[in-house]
Amino acid sequence: MDQYYNTLKALHLIFVITWFVGLFNIVRLFVYQIEAAEKPSPEKEILQKQFKIMTYRMWYIITWPSAILASFFAFWMLFFTAMGNAWLQMPWMHVKLGFVFVLYLYHAKCHQIFKQLQNNEVKYSSNYMRIWNEGATIILFAVVFLVVLKNAVNWIYGVIGIILFSSLIMLGFKFYKRIREKNQS
């Protein structure tokens, strides 16, 4: 029975990883798509066409299937194995499932942005998308700390750490942007 559960867990982890890879990369492609919309013709049209193809493939070939398979194996582990029933009794698992729900919301919002950009509707700036990309990182940190520490409280330290780290990255980004703008002048 342990081998059966461990096989399910391995498959779940593989698809969680590829799901996050898809989420990280799709938002990065959104940044490039938004920046391409600001280019002059014909560069704009050439880049937009290419980025639409790339985002379509990333979204429907990697991200969506990974989300579905990660969820499938998670539900299988939780509801059809004895080990899963034990996990459902633990408070840290309830917090983890809350974060998974937030991840589904994040995924849904990414889908909405994907559809808008596929229709040439640019509603967000590239800087907004760079910040948006940190959302998946924060969820990932919180879930990993929860699963490793199996404590419903200690995950807070990991999330605070990643928020501070993200803030430093954003400050570095702003500093780099100022240098880049100064050099272009």
Q: Distance between CA atoms of 66 and 48, rounded to whole angstroms? A: 25
CA dihedral 163, 167, 172, 175 (to 10 degrees): 170
What percent of the chain has a predicted confidence (pLDDT) above 90?
55
Burial of 36 (0-12, 13-18, 19+ CB in 10 A): buried
Is the model more confident about 64 or about 157?
A: 64
pTM of the model: 0.85
Taking phi first (over 0 means left), then psi (-120 to 50 degrees means alpha), and beta for anything else, what does residue 70 get?
alpha
Q: Is 96 annotated as a binding residue?
A: yes
The least confident of 121-130, 143-152, 156-165, 171-180 is: 156-165
For residue 91, name the pLDDT band (cuts at 50, 70, 90). Answer: confident
| Cα→Cα distances 31→13, 52, 112, Å | 27, 12, 15
Q: Distance between CA atoms of 95 and 32, rounded to whole angstroms? A: 34
DSSP one-letter string for 39-51: SPTTHHHHHHHHH
Q: Distance between CA atoms of 90 and 64, rounded to whole angstroms? A: 29
Comparing C-alpha atoms, which of 132, 126, 121 is closest to residue 52? Answer: 121
pLDDT at 150 over 90: no
Q: Is 94 annotated as a binding residue?
A: no
